[in-house]
Amino acid sequence: MTPGNGPDDRSYDYAAELGALPAWGPLALVAAVAARVTPAYRVLADAAENAVHASVVDALGQAREVDTVILRHLHDDLLPLWPEDEGEMDVLTPYYWKMRALHVLKVGLEHAVDDPVRGARMAEQTAVDMIDDFDSRVEQEGIDRPLALSSEETSSYAVREFGNFLHDVAALREEADPETAVWRIREHGSAEAEFLEQELLPLWIQAENWAQADLESAHGAEHE
């Protein structure tokens, strides 16, 4: 099964706002979403895998035009990280969740080649679905979440992530200078990635009862 598939809808319809962005804007959004969830990939991937992932995210974030040749090359760069035969992945394994995290970037790039707006939507949906699954697992185990999520506006990690996406859309719309817009996105995204890494991921790993050896078992593209 391809990990992380979900329905193509959100409670807030932002399609018109995405369509009003500069042509390269949705590519910046794909990169931003992938960067925010990078901690989920990083904790399960080895150094070589992380280097490739980071390189693709960085290159995509620097794009200021939609070049389908470059986008295809970036997607091809990810393929060695993905199993040749997807098959059925065991959802109880760290490996499955590593692929869920990688799928955020992969699915965004796949769609961005032909439709950058669609790519941005799919990357965000995939990220929200994954984060919601993390959160649900924590809740299932009855583990308390941090006070930072106690307000109505951030009632869940998934809601918080979708708010991050809308923040980035607003930055791209409000800033005439592309570099200023990207700077705003990266500054905000860096803080949010740190929040994910320090707040949700430890709780999720605790809920799964995984030791360091379990996390390291996810290393490598191919897995039995």
pLDDT in tens, 64-104: 999 999 999 999 999 999 987 766 678 889 999 999 999 99
Give me the pLDDT at residue 16, please. 79
Identify whether the C-beta of residue 32 lies closer than 8 Å to the C-beta of residue 13.
no
Mean pLDDT of the chain: 88
Identify whether the C-beta of residue 193 lies closer than 8 Å to the C-beta of residue 61.
no
Measured from the Cβ of residue 51, the count of other Cβ atoms closer than 10 Å reads: 11
Give me the pLDDT at residue 89, please. 76
* CA dihedral over 214, 217, 221, 224, signed as positive or negative: negative
Taking the CA atoms of the chain, what radius of gyration do you get in angstroms? 17
Question: For the chain, which residues score pLDDT lower than 50?
Answer: 1-11, 150-153
Please tell me the pTM assigned to this model.
Answer: 0.90
Cβ-in-10-Å burial (0-12, 13-18, 19+) of 131 comes to: buried
Token pair for 173: 């719309």
Cβ-in-10-Å burial (0-12, 13-18, 19+) of 145 comes to: middle
Which residues fall within 8 angstroms of residue 17, CB to CB, at 6 or more apart? 169, 173
Euclidean distance between CA atoms 171 and 20, whole angstroms: 12
Domain 16-216 top-level CATH class: mainly alpha
Give the closest residue to 161 by CA, choosing from 43, 28, 33, 24: 33
